[in-house]
């Protein structure tokens, strides 16, 4: 799963990329995308780490790309294989930055719909002329459904696809099916006041198009980054917020991808593991090690909420809070899991 950061020039996308990954990011004008890995902050992992005080703590991670090219075919090539886009909006630059960013969103959506329509029409033509074999018998009606939406400039993420059609969606690298998060980059004074240039327009776009809106201040985030944990908490309190904007953006991207975390604790490490919502216990075991999936017997499971109330596995066991689940158990976000297996 991969997330990309994009936006109009000078909006602050490379600053956000560096803050999230620790990687410098692409230089302005670069035709290649920098790739990094961002940790997904999770208070539950921090609490488990403090309780167990083990050598290593590992948070969930997502691949992140800094997309410098912002229009045309090169832009489409850069975002083709991404699952979610974070669009940085230059709201710290007041009206000029807001206008550029709003224009960027409109142009991006237009490019996405046009590219998808061209792809759908080309595929339909080849199928109807028997120049290509259909994936299955539902492909032509599925493509016609996509074409009808795209002709009306409706992005495919807004279409209610049936379960069997969702399998077909995954076969196409549709641009307009990607989830989008808007990240207004605001000035320090706007963070304090709670409003910023273009806020009403951006909120309406988010509401109309189903985009999550997560404001941040690049200037403030860079200052937060330089502080120790205690000073950071005090600093955030002065703005009336509990989390840095970068943490909220990372979490929003994680959720947009349909991902959840389960946790394991062993002799050396507290770790968050990333799985898709709906993953069953045996498949989740395979995330830890292939032998665990192959030799799966049972999963010992306790929810983080139950664990946090009593503070230890022993207490959870004494109170009957630990459950034995089979291979078809659907792992829930926040489950603390121990796999029983034999190979």
pLDDT digits (tens, 9 = 90+) for 253-265: 999 999 999 999 9
CB-neighbour burial class of residue 34 (10 A; exposed 0-12, middle 13-18, buried 19+): buried
pLDDT category, 166, cuts 50, 70, 90? confident
Average pLDDT over residues 74-92: 92
pLDDT digits (tens, 9 = 90+) for 43-60: 999 999 999 988 999 999
If DSSP codes are grouped into helix, strand and coil, which group holds residue 77?
Answer: helix
| C-alpha to C-alpha distance for 2 and 254, rounded to whole angstroms | 10
| Residue 24 domain flag | no
Q: What is the dihedral of CA 167, 325, 254, 66, to 10 degrees?
A: -80
**pLDDT score recorded for residue 131:** 84
| C-alpha to C-alpha distance for 79 and 91, rounded to whole angstroms | 23
What does the buried/exposed string (b/e) look like for 139-169 if buried means 16 or more CB atoms within 10 Å of the residue's CB?
A: beebbebbbebbeeeebbbebebeeebeebe
Contact between residue 134 and residue 237 where contact means Cβ atoms under 8 Å apart = no
Q: Between helices 218-225 and 229-238, what is the axis angle to 10°?
A: 150
Structure tokens at 151: 């002709």
| Residue 63 domain flag | no
pLDDT of 25 above 80: no
What total number of domains does the chain contain? Answer: 1
Tell me the residue range of the domain where 313 lies.
278-341
Structure tokens at 234: 């005090």
| Residue 37 domain flag | no
Average pLDDT over residues 109-114: 94
Contact between residue 337 and residue 283 where contact means Cβ atoms under 8 Å apart = no
Question: Among 6-10, 95-99, 306-310, which is the least confidently predicted range?
Answer: 95-99
| Residue 290 domain flag | yes
CB-neighbour burial class of residue 197 (10 A; exposed 0-12, middle 13-18, buried 19+): buried
Average pLDDT over residues 93-122: 92
Alpha-carbon distance values, 218 to 17, 256, 320 (Å):
10, 22, 47
- Taking alpha carbons only, the member of 202, 271, 287 closest to residue 48 is 271
E strand segments, the chain: 2-7, 34-40, 56-58, 60-66, 84-89, 179-184, 212-213, 259-265, 269-276, 296-303, 323-325, 335-341
Average pLDDT over residues 325-338: 96
pLDDT of 30 above 80: no
Please tell me the pTM assigned to this model.
0.88
Question: Which strands form 2-7's sheet, in the order they lie side by side?
Answer: 34-40, 60-66, 2-7, 84-89, 179-184, 212-213
| Residue 254 domain flag | no
Alpha-carbon distance values, 188 to 8, 192, 220 (Å):
20, 7, 6
| Residue 320 domain flag | yes
| Residue 317 domain flag | yes
CATH number at residue 301: 3.10.20.30
Q: What is the dihedral of CA 41, 42, 47, 50, to 10 degrees?
A: -30
Residue with the larger pLDDT of the pair 270 and 94: 270
Average pLDDT over residues 117-140: 88
**pLDDT score recorded for residue 29:** 58
Average pLDDT over residues 226-240: 85
pLDDT category, 170, cuts 50, 70, 90? confident
| C-alpha to C-alpha distance for 83 and 9, rounded to whole angstroms | 22
| Residue 235 domain flag | no
**pLDDT score recorded for residue 144:** 94
Q: Average per-residue pLDDT in the chain?
A: 90
DSSP state letter for 226: T
- Geometric angle at alpha carbon 68, from 207 and 33, rounded to 5°: 110
């Amino acid at each position: 799963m991969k997330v990309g950061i994009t936006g109009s020039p000078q909006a602050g996308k490379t600053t956000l990329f560096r803050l999230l990954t620790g990687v410098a990011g692409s230089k302005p004008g670069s035709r290649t995308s920098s790739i990094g890995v961002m940790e997904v902050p999770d208070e539950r992992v921090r609490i488990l780490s403090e309780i167990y005080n083990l050598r290593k703590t590992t948070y969930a991670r997502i691949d992140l790309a800094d997309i410098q090219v912002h229009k045309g075919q090169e832009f489409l090539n850069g975002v083709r294989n991404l699952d979610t886009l974070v669009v940085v909006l230059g709201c710290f630059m007041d009206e000029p930055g807001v206008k550029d960013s709003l224009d960027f969103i409109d142009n991006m959506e237009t490019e996405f719909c046009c590219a998808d329509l061209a792809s759908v029409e080309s595929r339909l033509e080849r199928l109807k002329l028997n120049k290509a074999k259909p994936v299955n018998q539902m492909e032509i009606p599925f493509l016609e459904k996509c074409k009808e939406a795209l002709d009306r400039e409706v992005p495919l993420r807004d279409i209610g696809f049936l379960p069997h059609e969702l399998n077909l969606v995954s076969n196409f690298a549709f641009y307009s099916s990607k989830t989008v998060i808007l990240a207004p980059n605001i000035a320090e004074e706007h963070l304090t006041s709670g409003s910023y240039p273009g806020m009403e327009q951006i909120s309406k776009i988010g509401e109309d198009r189903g985009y999550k809106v997560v404001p941040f201040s690049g200037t403030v985030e860079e200052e937060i980054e330089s502080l120790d944990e205690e000073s950071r908490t005090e600093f955030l309190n002065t703005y009336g917020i509990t989390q840095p904007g970068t943490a909220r953006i990372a979490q929003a991207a994680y959720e947009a991808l349909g991902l959840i975390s389960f946790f394991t604790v062993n002799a050396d490490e507290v770790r968050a593991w990333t799985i898709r919502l709906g993953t069953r216990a045996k498949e989740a075991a395979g995330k830890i090690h292939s032998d665990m999936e192959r030799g799966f017997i049972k999963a010992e499971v306790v929810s983080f909420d139950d664990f946090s109330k009593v503070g230890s596995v022993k207490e959870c066991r004494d109170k009957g809070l630990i459950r034995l689940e089979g291979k078809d158990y659907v792992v829930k976000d926040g489950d603390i899991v121990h796999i029983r297996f034999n190979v």
